[in-house]
C-alpha cells in the first residue's frame, strides 16, 4: 500500500474518532460541518468548500441562503475551531493526527504530531481514561473536596532540598494513616459517582428507564412534549452514528405532532436501553427524507435491524416502507424481553445508504398482547369515560383535519366526533405482523345537513359517498354516512374483524371519494382474542 493511501486512511480514521468521541453530542450541526468539509477534502475538492455550500449542504439552510445577511457559517466555524482545540488539549491530546480548521478558511488540515510532542502534552491519567462521552459531570464527583486535601498531601511530602535523617522512618508510619484519612473523606464523593444517563449504556449500573420510554434519536434539546401529552426524551444510550438535524422547511406526513421532526441518528449505530424485567413493545420511527433518483443504488436507505442480537428486519428499504419521501413510517415489535444484561439492544447495520432512526418507544406490555391503537381525528388527544386514551390524529397520509364541536350531543362518545379527517386519504397504522385485529371506524355526517349555508339541504342523503379499503380488501363500498346513520349528526360505528397487517407490518385504511369527500371521525384497532 502506498504512503499516500496509508496517510488517507489514517486521516479518515481520525475523523471517525473525533465524530464518535462524543464532543458533538449536543452540537450535531458542528459534526455535520466537520464531516462535510473533511469529505470534500478527501475527494480533492477543498477549493470548492465555500460558505454558501456549507450553509446549504451541511447546515441545511434553504437554497436562497444569503451569506451577507446570515453569518451562521462563520459562527459555526468559530465554534468548531474552539471545540477541536479543546478536544486536542484533553482527550485527543495523544492522537497521532490532529484536525485543524485554520482561521479565514474552511478547508481542514490534518497535522501529524510527533510522539515526543504528544507525550509532553499528555498528563498521565490516574487510572483508566474514560471515553469522552462518559466523562463524569463535575457535579457528580465534587473535585473541590478533593482539592481541599491537596495542601495536606504536599505538606506531608518530604522536601528534597533538606537532609533526611529521621523522616523516612516517620513517613513510613505516617503514610498509611494519611492515606486512610484522605480515603475516608474523599471516597464518599467518589463511590456515589454515576455517569450521566445519556452516555451510560456501556456501564452495568444504569437505572432502568420508565415503563413507557420515548426518545427522539439524534435530538439533544430539552424533552419534547407532543400534543398527545407524551414526553419524548433527547437522544441517549447510543454508540456510533451521527446526529443529523431534519430540515424544518419541509412538510412531513404522518407525524404525531407537527413539531415531531427534529433530528435523526445516521450511520452504523447501536442502542442499549436498560429496562426492568418484563415484556415490551418496541416502536421504531423512520423518516424518509432523501431526494434524487430512486433507481440509483446509492440513493436508498437499505439496512439490517437487530434486536438483542437477532435480525428482526433484513434488507429494510426505508423508501419502500414509507412509500414516498418526507413521510414518517414505523415498525412495531412485541414480546421483546431484555437481554441477560438487563438491556434491550438495537443495532442498525448499513447495506445501502446509511441507516437512520428518527425516534423510538419502549412500552411495557402484557406478554402475547398488542397495545390497542385509538386515534381521534383531532389536533389534541382525548380520554374517554372508561379512561382510555385516544391519540390525536397521526399515521395519516393526505386529507385534512377540521373541527365541528357539539355536532353530536346524544352519544356518550360525542367527543370522538368533534373532529373530522376528510378528503382522499389513508392511515398507515403500524402493528406486529403475526396477529389478527379488530378495526372499528367511527363516522358522523356533521357537514351536509348542518346549519352552514352552503351545507344545508332538505335531504342530505347522497351528498357524501365513498369507499373504504384495507390493504386492497373492500370494507365499505358506496358508503353514505347519512343514509346508514338515519340522518346527519348521528353517530355510526362499523366493525371489521380478522384483519391482518400487510408485508410492511401495517394496516392501511384507504378512504376514497365517490361523491364529494370521504371522512372519518375516529379509528380503533384491537387485537383479536
Q: Tens of pLDDT along 241-272?
A: 888 888 665 688 889 988 898 889 988 899 99
What pLDDT is stored for residue 47 in this prediction? 73
pLDDT at 335 over 60: yes
Partners of 466 in beta bridges: 479, 513
User: Other C-beta atoms within 10 Å of 366: how many?
Assistant: 12
Interatomic CA distance for residues 212 and 361, integer angstroms: 7
Question: Among 137-151, 329-343, 366-380, 457-471, where is mean pLDDT lowest?
Answer: 137-151
Mapped onto helix, strand or coil, the DSSP state of residue 131 is coil
Of 529 and 375, more confident: 375
pLDDT at 179 over 90: no
| Mean pLDDT within 183-203 | 37
Q: What is the mean pLDDT of the chain?
A: 80
Residues contacting 30, CB < 8 A, separation 6+:
24, 76, 79, 80, 83
Please give the distance of CA 29 from its chain centroid, rounded to a whole number.
Answer: 16
The conformational region for residue 247 under phi > 0 = left, psi -120 to 50 = alpha, else beta, is: beta
pLDDT at 199 over 50: no
Residues contacting 159, CB < 8 A, separation 6+:
none
Of 74 and 453, more confident: 74
Most confident segment among 98-112, 161-175, 513-527: 513-527
Of 315 and 337, more confident: 337
Indicate the helix (H) or strand (E) that contains 72.
helix 72-89
| Mean pLDDT within 149-163 | 41
Q: Is 108 exposed, middle or buried (0-12, 13-18, 19+ CB in 10 A)?
A: buried
The conformational region for residue 149 under phi > 0 = left, psi -120 to 50 = alpha, else beta, is: alpha
Helices (H) and strands (E) in the chain, counts: 10, 28
Most confident segment among 166-175, 245-254, 507-516: 507-516
Most confident segment among 286-290, 317-321, 417-421: 417-421
220-241 pLDDT, tens digit per residue, is 888 999 988 899 999 999 999 8
Give the cell for residue 75. 459562527
Indicate the helix (H) or strand (E) that contains 311.
strand 310-317
Indicate the helix (H) or strand (E) that contains 86.
helix 72-89
| Mean pLDDT within 311-315 | 92
Of 90, 84, 85, 93, which Cα lies nearest the Cα of 118?
93
Tell me the domains of the chain and their CATH numbers. Answer: 3-128 (no CATH), 143-191 (no CATH), 198-365 (2.60.120.430), 373-527 (2.60.120.430)
What pLDDT is stored for residue 492 in this prediction? 94
Q: pTM of the full predicted structure?
A: 0.61
pLDDT at 149 over 80: no
What pLDDT is stored for residue 300 in this prediction? 66
What pLDDT is stored for residue 68 in this prediction? 84
pLDDT exceeding 90 applies to what percent of the chain?
43
Q: pLDDT confidence of 401, banded at 50, 70, 90?
A: very high
| Mean pLDDT within 97-110 | 88
354-373 pLDDT, tens digit per residue, is 899 999 999 999 999 999 99
What pLDDT is stored for residue 244 in this prediction? 83
Give the cell for residue 60. 441545511
Mapped onto helix, strand or coil, the DSSP state of residue 165 is coil
Amino acid at each position: 500500500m502506498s504512503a499516500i493511501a496509508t496517510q488517507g486512511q489514517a486521516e479518515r480514521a481520525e475523523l471517525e474518532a473525533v465524530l464518535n468521541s462524543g464532543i458533538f453530542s449536543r452540537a450535531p450541526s458542528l459534526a455535520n460541518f466537520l464531516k462535510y468539509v473533511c469529505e470534500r477534502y478527501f475527494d480533492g475538492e477543498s477549493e470548492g468548500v465555500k460558505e454558501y455550500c456549507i450553509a446549504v449542504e451541511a447546515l441545511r439552510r434553504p437554497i436562497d441562503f444569503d451569506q451577507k445577511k446570515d453569518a451562521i457559517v462563520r459562527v459555526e466555524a468559530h465554534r468548531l475551531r474552539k471545540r477541536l482545540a479543546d478536544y486536542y488539549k484533553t482527550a485527543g491530546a495523544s492522537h497521532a493526527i490532529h484536525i485543524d480548521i485554520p482561521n479565514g478558511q474552511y478547508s481542514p488540515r490534518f497535522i501529524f504530531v510527533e510522539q515526543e510532542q504528544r507525550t509532553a502534552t499528555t498528563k498521565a491519567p490516574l487510572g483508566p481514561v474514560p471515553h469522552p462521552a462518559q466523562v463524569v459531570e463535575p457535579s457528580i464527583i465534587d473535585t473541590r473536596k478533593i482539592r481541599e486535601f491537596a495542601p495536606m498531601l504536599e505538606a506531608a511530602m518530604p522536601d528534597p532540598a533538606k537532609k533526611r535523617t529521621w523522616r523516612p522512618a516517620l513517613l513510613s508510619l505516617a503514610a498509611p494513616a494519611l492515606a486512610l484519612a484522605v480515603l475516608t473523606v474523599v471516597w464518599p464523593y467518589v463511590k456515589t459517582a454515576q455517569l450521566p444517563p445519556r452516555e451510560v449504556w456501556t456501564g452495568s449500573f444504569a437505572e432502568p428507564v420508565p415503563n413507557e420510554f420515548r426518545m427522539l434519536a439524534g435530538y439533544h434539546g430539552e424533552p419534547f412534549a407532543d400534543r398527545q401529552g407524551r414526553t419524548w426524551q433527547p437522544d441517549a444510550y447510543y454508540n456510533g452514528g451521527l446526529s443529523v438535524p431534519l430540515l424544518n422547511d419541509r412538510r412531513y406526513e404522518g407525524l404525531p405532532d407537527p413539531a415531531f421532526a427534529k433530528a435523526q441518528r445516521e450511520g452504523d449505530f447501536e442502542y442499549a436501553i436498560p429496562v426492568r424485567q418484563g415484556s415490551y413493545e418496541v416502536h421504531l420511527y423512520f423518516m424518509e427524507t432523501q431526494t434524487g433518483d430512486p433507481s440509483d443504488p446509492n440513493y436508498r436507505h437499505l439496512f439490517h435491524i437487530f434486536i438483542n442480537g437477532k435480525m428482526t428486519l433484513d434488507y429494510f428499504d426505508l423508501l419502500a416502507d414509507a412509500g414516498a419521501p418526507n413521510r414518517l413510517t414505523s415498525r412495531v415489535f412485541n414480546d421483546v424481553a431484555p437481554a441477560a444484561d438487563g438491556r434491550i439492544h438495537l443495532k442498525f447495520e448499513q447495506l445501502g445508504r446509511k441507516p437512520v432512526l428518527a425516534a423510538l418507544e419502549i412500552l411495557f406490555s402484557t406478554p402475547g398482547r398488542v397495545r390497542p391503537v385509538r386515534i381521534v381525528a383531532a389536533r389534541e388527544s382525548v380520554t374517554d369515560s372508561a379512561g382510555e386514551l385516544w391519540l390525536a390524529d397521526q399515521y395519516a397520509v393526505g386529507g385534512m383535519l377540521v373541527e365541528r364541536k357539539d355536532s353530536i350531543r346524544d352519544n356518550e362518545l360525542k367527543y370522538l366526533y368533534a373532529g373530522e379527517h376528510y378528503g382522499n386519504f389513508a392511515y398507515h397504522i403500524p402493528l406486529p405482523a403475526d396477529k389478527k385485529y379488530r378495526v372499528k371506524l367511527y363516522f358522523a355526517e356533521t357537514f351536509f345537513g348542518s346549519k352552514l349555508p352552503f351545507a344545508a339541504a332538505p335531504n342530505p342523503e347522497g351528498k357524501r359517498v365513498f369507499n373504504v379499503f384495507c390493504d386492497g380488501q373492500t370494507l365499505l363500498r358506496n358508503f353514505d354516512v347519512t343514509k346508514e346513520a338515519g340522518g346527519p349528526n348521528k353517530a355510526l360505528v362499523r366493525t371489521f374483524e380478522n384483519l391482518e397487517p400487510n408485508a410492511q407490518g401495517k394496516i392501511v385504511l384507504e378512504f376514497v371519494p365517490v361523491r364529494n369527500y370521504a371522512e372519518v371521525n375516529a379509528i380503533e384497532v384491537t387485537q383479536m382474542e
